[in-house]
Copies of this chain bind each other. A is one copy, B any other.
Amino acid sequence: MKLHWSPRSPFVRKVMIVLHEAGLADTVELVRTPVAMDKPNLDLLPDNPLIKLPTLVLDDGTSVYDSRVICAYLDTLGGCGLLPAEPRARLLAERRQALGDGLLDVLLLYRQERAKPPQRQTEAWLDAFSLKVEAVLAALEAEAHELQAGPFDLGRIAIGCALSYLDYRFPDIAWRDGHPKLAAWHERFAQRPSVLRSAPTETP
């Protein structure tokens, strides 16, 4: 398998964590494929017309995206049970994954908007992004005891990656302030071997 990869993409990181959990990391060739919202990387186009990371290419040439589809595929391939079979547990894991992915979507746009010259920024967007980040953190703090109690799954991976991305790109938000239970959960998350091995870096 071949994974279009970048060391600092949080959606790629989700996939790397699953690969490590599944013991499949050595079976995948990482192809460094930088992408940016304002510079579409045409090398990625034949495998994914959306030109987005992560994109996995199977040995028979089939391409698989987005991160959610790749993670579910690798989870089945590795038999790791990161997506619970029991319907209620599965629904909650999938909702948590959507919450983590959704927070990342907000943060990626937020970062783009903050990087613009002030005269091109949209104030109402910045306000909305900030409000959503605060709302998600409050919701996660309220369910932090459930995050602590349950098994490691795709929902927790997405949420953990989003919080780590806050640390990486938004240190000014200081998200731990006012969210002590969530911070405690994330501390444990960050020490998991698969998470440590997938930390943003400059080299594969």
Q: Residues on A close to B: CB < 8 A? A: 37-40, 45, 49-52, 62-66, 68-69, 72-73, 76, 87, 91, 94-95, 97-99, 101-103, 106, 116, 119-122, 124-125, 128, 131-132, 135-136, 138-139
Contact = CB atoms under 8 A, between A and B. Distances in A.
A12 B87 CA distance: 23
Contact of A66 (B65, B69, B87, B98): B98
Given A38-B125, A91-B62, A95-B63, A51 B120 contact: no
Contact of A119 (B69, B120, B139): B120
A188 B49 CA distance: 24
A182 to B, nearest CB: 13
The CB with the most chain B CB atoms within 10 A, among A45, A66, A103, is that of A66
Given A38-B124, A72-B94, 15 more contacts: A49-B99, A49-B138, A50-B99, A50-B132, A50-B136, A51-B128, A51-B131, A51-B132, A51-B135, A63-B95, A65-B99, A66-B98, A66-B101, A69-B94, A120-B121
B124 A122 contact: no
B49 A132 contact: yes
Nearest to A92: B62
A129 to B, nearest CB: 9
25 contacts: A37-B128, A40-B131, A49-B132, A49-B135, A49-B136, A50-B99, A50-B103, A50-B132, A51-B132, A51-B135, A64-B95, A65-B95, A65-B99, A66-B101, A68-B68, A68-B98, A69-B91, A69-B94, A69-B97, A72-B94, A73-B91, A76-B87, A120-B120, A120-B121, A120-B122
